[in-house]
């Protein structure tokens, strides 16, 4: 899909600004006028005029220490929209994939179980029999993820860290013909040949169901600003995405966002004033200068690691008020410590130290939103499981969370859920 999109870009001779990192939106009177972006290759910061802007930056997987996402999925698009005053919707709904390779979290596709793979604990037991007697390994992702985590938490994990995905009974031929990619991944990233040995797997963050609040036309509250794909929250997934539906989010809503933005851009004039542009640019220049002039002693890589670990330790598959409060305090502490960052290297060309510091600042804001949203939702729904509130509570929580940025902590509001056809029901497997 990515390749096809790239081919179409070439065919239509669309200008691409490669390796530019957008740091903020330029907004005037509730209307988007452009973006400020940093060239990774030259280090220069520039303001781009744009009648319409579509955010398509993907999810925020790497707020967690365990994620199947690409390493660049640090939620930048969500963070810049949040800073521009747009709500982040339903961020507590985080999908965890049951089978990420241990320890690197490279994704082992559902197809491995689809073809008949078994999940086995340290005692050699096909434990899904206890959790979903009919569906077994083919139960929905969230059910399988929680089952694996429970096995690990209750001491039946292998080396207290993972379980086994056993494909051996499928035979060499089937593995080679139906799952060659999985075999390559297991060999390259874990040194395990699934023909001879079971694959070590663990649950890991996989998809950000929440995101930039937008409607079914991908419009946000800022005119001319659209969001599509994983960074957006049209809310097609509700509290729990079904496998394959990320394609829906990219293909269907990518098209809608493109069409909407095209029509909007045609019918609007760019009248953003120059002064506002210069100010937006200056503000980002100052922000980066501030990084270069940091005089503190906090190491960003340590803060990043602490953030990612607390998200896995306390905001993972099973959540409780106590753990979420602790996580919230920890993220707040990390944000304070971020203000005492050591000086970031002021080199211009290909400065990973700077890019990663900007990403970390964004991820700290997003982590705070995820934790605050999870703490406020005192029920269990879809991917969000509260051990202290094990049931779904439609009378209080059949609603979307909206998190707005304030000078202090996120302000949580709620909006109505539009139910068109299917009423929420309890799921049984």
Catalytic sites, residue numbers: 97, 113
Residue 400: CB minimum distance to other proteins, A:
31
Please identify, using beta-carbon distances, which residue of 81 and 303 lies nearer to other proteins: 303
Q: Tell the residue number behind the tokens 């925020």, with chain if given.
A: 60
Residue 228: CB minimum distance to other proteins, A:
20
Answer whether the bond into residue 76 is a cis peptide, omega within 30°. Answer: no
Please identify, using beta-carbon distances, which residue of 34 and 76 lies nearer to other proteins: 76
Q: What is the C-alpha to C-alpha distance for residues 89 and 400, in angstroms, rounded to an integer? A: 7
Q: What is the C-alpha to C-alpha distance for residues 96 and 204, in angstroms, rounded to an integer? A: 5
> Mind giving me the DSSP string for 90-132?
STT-EEEEEEEETTT--B--THHHHTTPEEE-TTS--THHHH-
Residue 192: CB minimum distance to other proteins, A:
9
Return residues touching other proteins (CB under 8 A): 3, 7-8, 10-11, 41, 70-72, 103-104, 106-107, 184-185, 188-191, 301, 345, 347, 349-353
Please identify, using beta-carbon distances, which residue of 69 and 95 lies nearer to other proteins: 69
Which tokens hold the place of 96? Answer: 């965890």
Q: What is the C-alpha to C-alpha distance for residues 19 and 36, in angstroms, rounded to an integer? A: 14
Please identify, using beta-carbon distances, which residue of 103 and 171 lies nearer to other proteins: 103
β-pair type (411-416, 31-39): unpaired
Please identify, using beta-carbon distances, which residue of 107 and 412 lies nearer to other proteins: 107
**Count of alpha carbons within 13 Å of 66, Cβ hemisphere only?**
28
Residue 67: CB minimum distance to other proteins, A:
10
Contact indicator for 78, 361 with CB cutoff of 8 Å: no
Residue 10: CB minimum distance to other proteins, A:
5
Q: Which residues contact 49 (CB under 8 A, 6 or more apart)?
A: 33, 34, 270, 272, 277
Which tokens hold the place of 59? Answer: 């999810």
Contact indicator for 120, 163 with CB cutoff of 8 Å: yes
* C-alpha torsion 209→211→214→217, nearest 10: -60
Residue 92: CB minimum distance to other proteins, A:
26
Please identify, using beta-carbon distances, which residue of 18 and 274 lies nearer to other proteins: 18
Q: What is the C-alpha to C-alpha distance for residues 220 and 169, in angstroms, rounded to an integer? A: 50
Surface-to-core class of residue 76, CB atoms within 10 Å of its CB (0-12 exposed, 13-18 middle, 19+ buried): buried
Residue 42: CB minimum distance to other proteins, A:
9
* Residue 160: closest CA among 102, 108, 208, 217: 102
Please identify, using beta-carbon distances, which residue of 242 and 302 lies nearer to other proteins: 302
């Amino acid at each position: 899909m990515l390749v096809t999109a790239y081919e179409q870009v070439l065919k239509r001779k669309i200008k691409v600004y490669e390796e530019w990192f957008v740091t903020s939106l330029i907004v005037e009177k509730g209307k988007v006028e452009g973006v400020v972006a940093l060239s990774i290759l030259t280090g220069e910061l520039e303001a781009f005029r744009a009648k319409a802007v579509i955010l398509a930056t993907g999810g925020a997987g790497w707020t967690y220490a365990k994620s199947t996402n690409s390493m660049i999925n640090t939620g930048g698009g969500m963070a810049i929209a949040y800073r521009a005053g747009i709500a982040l919707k339903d961020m507590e709904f985080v999908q965890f994939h049951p089978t990420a390779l241990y320890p690197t979290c490279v994704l082992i596709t559902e197809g491995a179980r689809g073809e008949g793979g078994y999940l086995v604990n340290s005692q050699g037991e096909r434990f899904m029999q206890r959790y979903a007697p009919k569906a077994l390994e083919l139960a929905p992702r969230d059910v399988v993820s929680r089952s694996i985590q429970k096995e690990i938490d209750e001491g039946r994990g292998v080396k207290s860290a993972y379980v086994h995905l056993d494909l051996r009974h499928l035979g060499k031929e089937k593995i080679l013909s139906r799952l060659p990619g999985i075999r390559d991944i297991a060999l390259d990233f874990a040194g395990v040949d699934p023909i001879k040995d079971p694959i070590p797997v663990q649950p890991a963050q996989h998809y950000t169901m929440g995101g930039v609040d937008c409607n079914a036309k991908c419009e946000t509250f800022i005119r001319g600003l659209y969001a599509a794909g994983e960074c957006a929250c049209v809310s097609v997934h509700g509290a729990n995405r079904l496998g394959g539906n990320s394609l829906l989010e990219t293909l269907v809503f990518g098209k809608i966002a493109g069409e909407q933005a095209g029509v909007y851009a045609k019918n609007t004039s760019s009248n953003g004033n120059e002064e506002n542009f210069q100010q937006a640019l200056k503000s980002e220049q100052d922000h980066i200068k501030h990084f270069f002039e940091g005089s503190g002693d906090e190491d960003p890589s340590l803060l990043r690691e602490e953030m990612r670990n607390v998200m896995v330790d306390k905001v993972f598959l099973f959540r409780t008020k106590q753990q979420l409060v602790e996580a919230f305090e920890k993220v707040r502490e990390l944000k304070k410590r971020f203000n005492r960052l050591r000086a970031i290297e002021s080199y211009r060309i290909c400065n990973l130290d700077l890019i990663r510091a900007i990403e970390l600042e964004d991820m700290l804001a997003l982590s705070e939103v995820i934790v605050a949203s999870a703490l406020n939702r005192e029920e269990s729904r879809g991917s969000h499981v509260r051990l202290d509130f094990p049931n779904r509570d439609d009378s209080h929580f059949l609603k979307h969370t909206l998190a707005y940025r304030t000078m202090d902590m996120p302000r949580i509001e709620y909006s109505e859920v539009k139910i068109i056809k299917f009423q929420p029901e309890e799921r049984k497997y």
